[in-house]
C-alpha cells in the first residue's frame, strides 16, 4: 500500500480526534476506572468516569497507543457523557468507530480497546458502589 493510500484510509474525523483529542488527562477521585490493554500491539488505555444520579457526568482518558486508539478513546468519552450507565453499556466498538466516520478494518481492534475500557470503568464503578453488574437498583 502506498503512503497516500494509508493516509486516505482514515476519515477526517479520526484525524481530527487524533490531533485534538477531547477529555485527555487525569480525574480526581473518579467513580470508576477502566484499565485495559492489547497484548498483541502493547497499547494501553485508562478511562475514568464520574457518575451522578446514574448518569455519566464526566469521562476522561489516558491512552498510550496508536492514533486510532487515541481517536476512539476521545470519541468514547464524548459519547458517554450525559448517558445513563445502562445506556453507556450499550455503546459498542462499532458505534464508536461509526461516530468517527469509520476505521480501516486493520484498525477495528483499536475501537475494541475503547469499548473494553468503558465496560471496565463501569464494572469498577458498580463494584465500588455495591451495584450489580446487571445494574439492578440504580446504575
Residues involved in catalysis? 41, 110
Indicate the residue among 23 and 111 with the shorter CB distance to ligand FES: 111
14 lies in the binding site for ligand FES (CB under 6 A)? no
114 lies in the binding site for ligand FES (CB under 6 A)? no
43 lies in the binding site for ligand FES (CB under 6 A)? yes
Burial (CB count within 10 angstroms: exposed 0-12, middle 13-18, buried 19+), residue 74: buried
Name the grid cell of 65: 497507543
Instruction: Kindly state the DSSP code that residue 65 receives in the 8-state scheme.
Output: S
Q: Which of 68, 89, 91, 122 binds ligand FES (CB under 6 A)?
A: 68
66 lies in the binding site for ligand FES (CB under 6 A)? yes
Indicate the residue among 51 and 121 with the shorter CB distance to ligand FES: 121
Name the grid cell of 34: 477502566
Residue 92: count of CB within 10 angstroms of its CB: 14
Residue 20: count of CB within 10 angstroms of its CB: 10
Residue whose C-alpha is closest to residue 13's, from 84, 104, 75, 80: 75
Q: Which of the stretches 15-23, 36-44, 76-84, 123-131 binds ligand FES when contact is defined by CB under 6 A?
A: 36-44
113 lies in the binding site for ligand FES (CB under 6 A)? yes
User: Could you list the residues that contact ligand FES (CB under 6 A)?
Assistant: 38, 41, 43, 65-66, 68-69, 110, 113
Amino acid at each position: 500500500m502506498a503512503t497516500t493510500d494509508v493516509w486516505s484510509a482514515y476519515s477526517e474525523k479520526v484525524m481530527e480526534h487524533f490531533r485534538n483529542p477531547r477529555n485527555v488527562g487525569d480525574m480526581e477521585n473518579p467513580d470508576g476506572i477502566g484499565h485495559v490493554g492489547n497484548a498483541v500491539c502493547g497499547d494501553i488505555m485508562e478511562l475514568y468516569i464520574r457518575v451522578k444520579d446514574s448518569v455519566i457526568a464526566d469521562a476522561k482518558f489516558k491512552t498510550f497507543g496508536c492514533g486510532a486508539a487515541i481517536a476512539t478513546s476521545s470519541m468514547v468519552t464524548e459519547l458517554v457523557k450525559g448517558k445513563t450507565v445502562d445506556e453507556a453499556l450499550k455503546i459498542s466498538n462499532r458505534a464508536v468507530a461509526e461516530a468517527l466516520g469509520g476505521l480501516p478494518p486493520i484498525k477495528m481492534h483499536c475501537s475494541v480497546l475503547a469499548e473494553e475500557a468503558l465496560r471496565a470503568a463501569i464494572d469498577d464503578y458498580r463494584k465500588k458502589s455495591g451495584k450489580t453488574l446487571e445494574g439492578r437498583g440504580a446504575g
